[in-house]
């Protein structure tokens, strides 16, 4: 199966200098390496041309964020498997073999994620994906190895191959035919949680999503948008609500929507108590944007061929904040 590693870049020359070497050294010749540039104004392109002539360059005309950036770029990539890799990812030797083996062995596997550890503290799982993602009853994402802000130490507890609900967009492999069948990422998300929506829609088609713990990468996290940035808070809260409208099974729909509005309000109060009012304002703005897009996303919901009746029973908010269960294997 022909594999292409595609790195999305926007004014990220410094990140390319640090992280592109590992991707090139440990991916060739098993895969072709591309950099999809989102209309950068720095000298990223000239740097790649000078020092990495084997890397193919795709120049997008505008900075459309993660979603549009990849949608535009992947139209120019000829491969059976797309590996979407953040520009702040360090990969390891032989990282591709377990992933390509999974695609070759299991025809129903459409998406794969490797183990994602923290580049700054390589014994810890990284926030964006860790050991594979799940979703709770209210549409809140969490991971094996990461529940809210609690990161587990990697003690080989997730060195397995497992079914997961969503794979992290930080390092995300997908069959090209499935990606195009789904018409790619939803560009209304711009960035953050668009991969969860894509994974949800992938499962609605009957495909499975796998975590491969025998493949490891290291992610800086927040290199393009810091965790403390209210823009990130806005996108995460808004897009999570859009995921609910678009994908939650019908029998849960009204209950989940109402509950989320209440829980997000509590989160806003928590930010005020923590003296972070800019994040409370970001949540308010997220809800206003959600209301503006509500009818539009109801229409997108109707366009889906079906919505699977998932077992969305866990409330991660209740288990984490009330019962104090902070590790994945403690969850009920």
pLDDT level of residue 308 (50, 70, 90 thresholds): low
pLDDT for residue 314: 81
150 - beta bridge partners? 147
Beta pairing partners, 3? 31, 81
Which secondary-structure segment (H or E) carries 216? strand 208-219
Q: Quote the tokens at residue 134.
A: 């799940």
| Domain covering 3-219: architecture | Alpha-Beta Complex (3.90)
When mean pLDDT is compared over 209-218, 245-254, 302-311, 323-332, the highest value belongs to 209-218
pLDDT at position 252: 83
State the DSSP code for 117.
Answer: E
Q: Where in the chain is the domain with CATH 3.90.550.10?
A: 3-219
Residue 310, pLDDT score? 59
> What is the C-alpha separation between 224 and 87, in angstroms, rounded?
9
Residue-level pLDDT at 74: 98
CA distance 100 to 302: 34
- Give the span between the Cα atoms of 58 and 61, in whole angstroms: 10
Q: Which two tokens stand for residue 321?
A: 């904040």
Express each pLDDT in 117-135 by its tens digit.
999 999 999 999 999 999 9
Percentage of residues of the chain with pLDDT beyond 90: 86
Query: Quick one: pLDDT band at residue 239, thresholds 50, 70, 90?
Result: very high
270 confidence band (pLDDT: 50, 70, 90)? very high
22 contacts: CB under 8 Å, gap ≥ 6: 90, 91, 92
What tokens appear for 77 in the block?
A: 């990539």
The answer on pLDDT for 226 being more than 80 is no
* CB count in 10 Å sphere of residue 252: 19
With 0.85 as the threshold, say if the pTM is over it. yes
* Beta-sheet strand order (sheet of 150-151): 133-135, 141-143, 146-147, 150-151
Quote the CA–CA distance of 86 and 120 in Å, as a whole number: 16
Rounded CA gap, 38 and 65, in Å? 8
Q: Please say if the pLDDT value at position 182 is more than 70.
A: yes
Mean pLDDT (whole number) for 288-313: 79
pLDDT band, very low/low/confident/very high, at 137 (cuts 50, 70, 90): confident
DSSP 188: G
């Amino acid at each position: 199966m022909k594999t292409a590693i595609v790195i999305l870049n926007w004014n990220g020359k410094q990140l390319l200098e640090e992280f592109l070497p590992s991707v090139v050294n440990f991916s060739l010749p098993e895969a072709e390496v591309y950099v999809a540039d989102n209309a950068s104004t720095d000298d990223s392109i000239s740097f790649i041309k000078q020092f990495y002539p084997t890397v193919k360059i795709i120049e997008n005309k505008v900075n459309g964020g993660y979603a549009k950036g990849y949608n535009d770029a992947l139209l120019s990539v000829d491969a059976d498997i797309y590996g979407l890799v953040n520009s702040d990812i360090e990969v390891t030797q032989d990282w591709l073999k377990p992933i390509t083996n999974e695609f070759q062995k299991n025809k129903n596997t459409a998406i794969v994620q490797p183990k994602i550890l923290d580049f700054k503290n390589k014994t810890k799982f990284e926030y964006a994906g860790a050991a594979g993602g799940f979703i709770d009853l209210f549409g809140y994402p969490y991971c094996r190895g990461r529940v809210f802000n609690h990161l587990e130490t990697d003690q080989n507890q997730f060195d397995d191959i497992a079914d997961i609900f969503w794979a992290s967009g930080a390092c995300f492999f997908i069959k090209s035919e499935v990606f195009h069948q789904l018409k790619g990422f939803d560009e209304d998300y711009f960035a953050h949680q668009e991969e969860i929506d894509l994974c949800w829609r992938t499962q609605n088609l009957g495909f499975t999503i796998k975590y491969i713990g025998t493949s490891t990468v290291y992610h800086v996290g927040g290199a393009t948008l810091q965790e403390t940035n209210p823009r990130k808070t806005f996108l995460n809260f808004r897009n999570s609500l859009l995921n609910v409208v678009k994908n939650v099974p019908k029998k849960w729909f009204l209950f989940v929507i109402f509950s989320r509005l209440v829980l997000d309000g509590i989160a806003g109060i928590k930010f005020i108590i923590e003296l972070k009012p800019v994040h409370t304002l970001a949540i308010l703005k997220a809800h206003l944007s959600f209301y503006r897009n509500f009818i539009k996303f109801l229409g997108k919901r109707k366009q889906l061929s079906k919505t699977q009746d998932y077992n969305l029973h866990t409330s991660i908010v209740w288990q984490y904040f009330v019962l104090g269960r902070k590790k994945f294997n403690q969850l009920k």
